[in-house]
A and B are shown apart, each in its own frame.
Chain A
């Protein structure tokens, strides 16, 4: 088991280096000069030159990359070109927000998607099945930005039940925090719930036709025990992997949803940084995102092995 984990970690390191090079070069290939934007409307030549020197823009690209990588390895992700705030501070400030949103969305998606998938599989071909499929399809097809704006208009503007946007930390005001994140969590969770429902349904259908389920039924076990204990536990394996990947995507930033609900998380930070050509922030965010993605995938693999005894035997 340790060897398995170690080998996966070793694979992750070159992946991270490649990601860093890719991100750095991609920024350089983009047209437009961020320094001109940073210099402000008046574009004083002395300011422009000062900014170029300060951000090593006059150095060769390779040197710029090495400067950046050297700082990163020392734990310094640089400073935001726009606000001058340290990128690591910004990330530490935003990460818990997105984490909270991701956990809530995932909770909502699992709460809706998995039971709906199980019911649809068990009651295959009935009204329940069609209903669950219909709901899942709508969840998948409705764009987040549209659903978000509709919810704001209905729930906040017309009914006045929840704040239209903004965010409060649960450490400051837990109730307000729940109020500000519940709508974005639902918006984010709907699409995932749809995907989870479809996958749960097909996994359950596959398992329900397996020999051991027939054997369990033949032994005279109740349908509830057959479905939940025998079928569902085995159908859970691909769902765990899928959920982990989706959680990783949520952490990478729910770009549109955070933008619409003005949630100061990762996604909003990425959009703002790209829009302002804030290189330091974009690079820092992508690096942290890639790292967390790789770690989550690693954890999912380990969890998969732990849940599946047959996999353990092959290691």
Chain B
């Protein structure tokens, strides 16, 4: 009897010790992700969860170059219409079903046919997908599309268990079954998402935490207080205003990386009657407005000098940035001269839509003040996001201060915004020359040739200015002291391979 009691006590202490060693990593998110079904997701923040939950065919390295993940190799056919992928062997989904070419085909088909799928447009160039071997996947395209690799390094390339997805249908997001280093445990909407380590992950030794807990905390002050109090280990997208507090706290580490997106002013140049004013009708007026803005001072006043002033969709320093057009210095005299040349009546009265966050409104006020010195009279209209978007689409705006979070393939950062058929071309900019260049760049596999095509578009856009690019945000990550192995990525997604402490 005594012996069995002793054994029980020993077992209990061992299990308690195990519990004590179990290591949780708590990550503070800016907002709550939407559906956790890779076919349905629409938000950036869901990518942070997927990175730990659902492996993708391709990933990107710290330089934003596409790298293998579940696809180990790929080759394009001569005509650019067939993509053959070699898949990693020995990978299992969290429900124990194997990952192979047959399962990948079913995932592609679900992504392309599920009524609620948001992957249809991303896979729009795909004609069919077939398993040409146990671990060889062949993708046939309707027309050449070099941007497909980037899509497969995003939501469209996230692999999940087709059996589990078929069984759950549209409710798959409530209990996602994927093949990443961590498997889904639970979700309490607006509160937390819990994942636990998947022991059969092909690279499990590189992941050092037993559980990952994502906690959406929208308020920046509260998020910062949590990491300072030790209740969070990592905080993504720390606000610039909080950066000095993080830097002065020895219990915290700060990491930063420029984001691949952009922020700027979208100008209504063709969307209804409001495009017919001097600003929408005359590129000289838009050039004057661009020259009236001191991008350095703007960055200093609104973002404590922590963001990156810019004048193109790619940030200075990016491989896609066109050095021939550096960020212009403010030139009020030249701006006035351009307005005189345009022959417009002064002051040029325009309205600018902004978001209703304090930062967006402050940004609007700084632009308003700077532009007034060159002869513009800007009135500001702050609206919440849903209104801003629908006013944009309806053409009920002169100009709109907004941004784009960015994608790894350049096409997604420019094509939707200035191509005549672009889904985000709210300003209705239409230029056949631009359309032709962008379509050609979409088909062009040679990066150097692509760069040249994008440079040609930049030259035109610098003159036409349907979008006045202003700055590029930086992603700031705050980490508890003691966490090692973390590297910030320009896409804002947290990678946990090798992270420990």
Please give the residue numbers on chain A whose beta carbons come within 8 Å of chain B beta carbons, in ascending order: 31-34, 36-47, 50, 54, 80, 82-85, 90, 93-94, 149, 152-153, 156-157, 160, 163-167, 259-262, 264, 268-269, 272, 275, 277
> B389 to chain A: which residues have CB within 8 Å?
32-33, 36-37
> Are B229 and A156 within 8 A (Cβ)?
yes
* Chain A hits for B384, CB < 8 A: 32, 275
Chain A residues, Cβ within 8 Å of B386: 31-34, 36-37, 277
Question: Are the CB atoms of B390 and A164 closer together than 8 Å?
Answer: no
Tell me if B231 and A166 are in contact (CB < 8 A).
yes
Asked if B67 is at the interface of the complex by the 8 Å CB criterion, the answer is no
Flag if A43 contacts B116 (CB, 8 Å): no
Interface residue from B116, B173, B383, B390 paired with A36 (Cβ < 8 Å): B390
Whether B191 lies near A262 (C-beta < 8 A) is yes
Beta-carbon contact of B225 and A50 below 8 Å = no
Residues of A with C-beta under 8 A to B405: 41
Cα distance, A166 to B44, chains bound together (Å): 23
Which of chain B's residues has its CB closest to A149's CB? Answer: B221
- Residues of chain B contacted by A80 (CB below 8 angstroms): 189
Contact B44 A41 (CB under 8 A): yes
**B188 contact from A160, A163, A264, Cβ within 8 A:** A264
How distant is the Cα of A92 from the Cα of B76 in the complex, in angstroms? 52
| Interchain CA distance A80-B229 in the complex, whole Å | 33
Rounded to whole Å, the gap between the CB of B416 and the closest CB of chain A is 7
Q: Is there contact, CB below 8 Å, between A47 and B118?
A: yes
Assess whether B116 is in contact with A262, with CB atoms less than 8 Å apart.
no
Flag if A33 contacts B231 (CB, 8 Å).
Answer: no
Does B283 sit at the interface, judged by CB under 8 A?
A: no
Bound-complex Cα distance A264 to B385 (A): 23
Flag whether B326 is at the interface (Cβ < 8 A): no
CA separation between A220 and B230, bound complex, in Å? 61
**Chain A binder among B34-42, B140-148, B340-348, B435-443:** B34-42
A155: nearest chain-B partner, CB-CB: B229
For the complex of A and B, list the 9 residue pairs with the smallest distance between their C-beta atoms, beginning with the closest.
Answer: A40-B42, A32-B386, A264-B191, A32-B387, A44-B121, A33-B390, A164-B229, A156-B229, A36-B389
* Interface contacts beyond A32-B387, A46-B121: sample of 14 additional A-B pairs, CB < 8 Å, sorted by A: A32-B390, A36-B386, A45-B423, A83-B33, A84-B173, A85-B174, A157-B229, A160-B230, A164-B225, A165-B231, A259-B219, A260-B222, A261-B222, A277-B386
Chain A CB within 10 A, most for which of B189, B225, B387, B393? B189
With contact pairs A37-B386, A83-B34, A264-B188 given, residues A152 and B42 touching in the complex (Cβ less than 8 Å): no
Which of A44, A160, A262, A275 has a CB less than 8 Å from the CB of B215?
A262
Chain A hits for B44, CB < 8 A: 41
Q: Confirm or deny: B273 has a beta carbon within 8 angstroms of a beta carbon on chain A.
A: no
Complexed CA–CA distance, A34 and B170 (Å): 21
In whole Å, how far is B47's beta carbon from the nearest beta carbon of chain A? 12
Contacts of A259 in B (CB 8 A): 218-219
Which residues of the other chain, A, contact B445 by a CB distance below 8 angstroms? Answer: none
B174 and chain A: residue at smallest CB distance: A85
B97 at the interface (CB under 8 A from A): no
B200 to chain A, nearest CB (A): 27
Give CA–CA (A46, B32) in the complex, Å.
Answer: 25
Ordered by A's residue number, 8 sampled pairs between the chains whose C-beta atoms are within 8 Å are: A32-B391, A83-B34, A153-B225, A156-B229, A160-B229, A165-B217, A165-B225, A165-B231
- Nearest-neighbour CB distance to chain B for A209, whole angstroms, equals 48
Contact A37 B219 (CB under 8 A): no
Would A272 and B190 count as touching, CB distance under 8 A?
Answer: yes
- B390, A163: Cβ atoms closer than 8 Å: no
In the bound complex, CA of A168 to CA of B230 (Å): 16
Interface residues of B in 392-436 (CB under 8 A from A): 393, 404-405, 412, 416, 423-424
With CB as the reference atom, state the residue of chain A lying closest to B394. Answer: A33
B457 CB within 8 Å of chain A: no
Q: Chain B residues with Cβ under 8 A from A46's Cβ?
A: 120-121
B150 to chain A, nearest CB (A): 13
* A32→B388 CA distance, assembly (Å): 7
Q: How far is the CA of A163 from the CA of B188 in the complex (A)?
A: 19
B115 contacts A50, C-beta separation under 8 Å: yes
A163 to B217, CA, bound (A): 14
Bound Cα distance from A25 to B228, whole angstroms: 44
Verify B222–A264 contact, CB threshold 8 A.
no
Q: In whole Å, how far is B213's beta carbon from the nearest beta carbon of chain A?
A: 9
Name the residue on A nearest B188 (C-beta): A264
Q: What's the Cα separation between A138 and B181 when bound, in Å?
A: 52
Tell me the complex Cα distance, A33–B391, Å: 9
Is there an interface contact between B222 and A164, defined as CB atoms closer than 8 Å?
A: yes
Quote the shortest CB–CB distance from B442 to chain A (angstroms). 15
B174 touches A44 (CB 8 A): no
Cα–Cα, bound, A163→B232 (Å): 10
Chain A nearest CB from B216 CB (Å) reads 8
Cβ contact of A84, chosen from B170, B191, B221, B412, cutoff 8 A? B170
* Cβ contacts under 8 Å, A163 to chain B: 229, 231
- Given contacts A156-B225, A160-B229, A44 and B120 within 8 Å (CB-CB): yes
- Chain B positions within 8 Å of A85 at CB level: 174, 189
Q: By the criterion CB–CB under 8 Å, are A152 and B225 in contact?
A: yes
Determine if B118 and A167 form an interchain contact, defined as CB atoms under 8 angstroms apart: no
User: Which residues of chain A are within 8 angstroms of B362 by Cβ–Cβ distance?
Assistant: none
A84 and B42: CB pair below 8 A?
no
Assembly CA distance A264 to B218 (angstroms): 12
Q: How distant is A100 from chain B, measured CB to nearest CB, in Å?
A: 14
CA distance A32 to B390 in the complex (A): 5
Which listed residue, A45, A50, A165, A167, touches B226 by the CB 8 Å rule? A165
Q: Give the residue name and chain of the B residue nearest to A274 (CB).
A: B384
Q: Is the CB of B385 within 8 A of A37?
A: yes
Q: Are A90 and B229 in contact (CB under 8 A)?
A: no
Q: How many angstroms between the C-alpha atoms of A83 and B116 in the bound complex?
A: 12
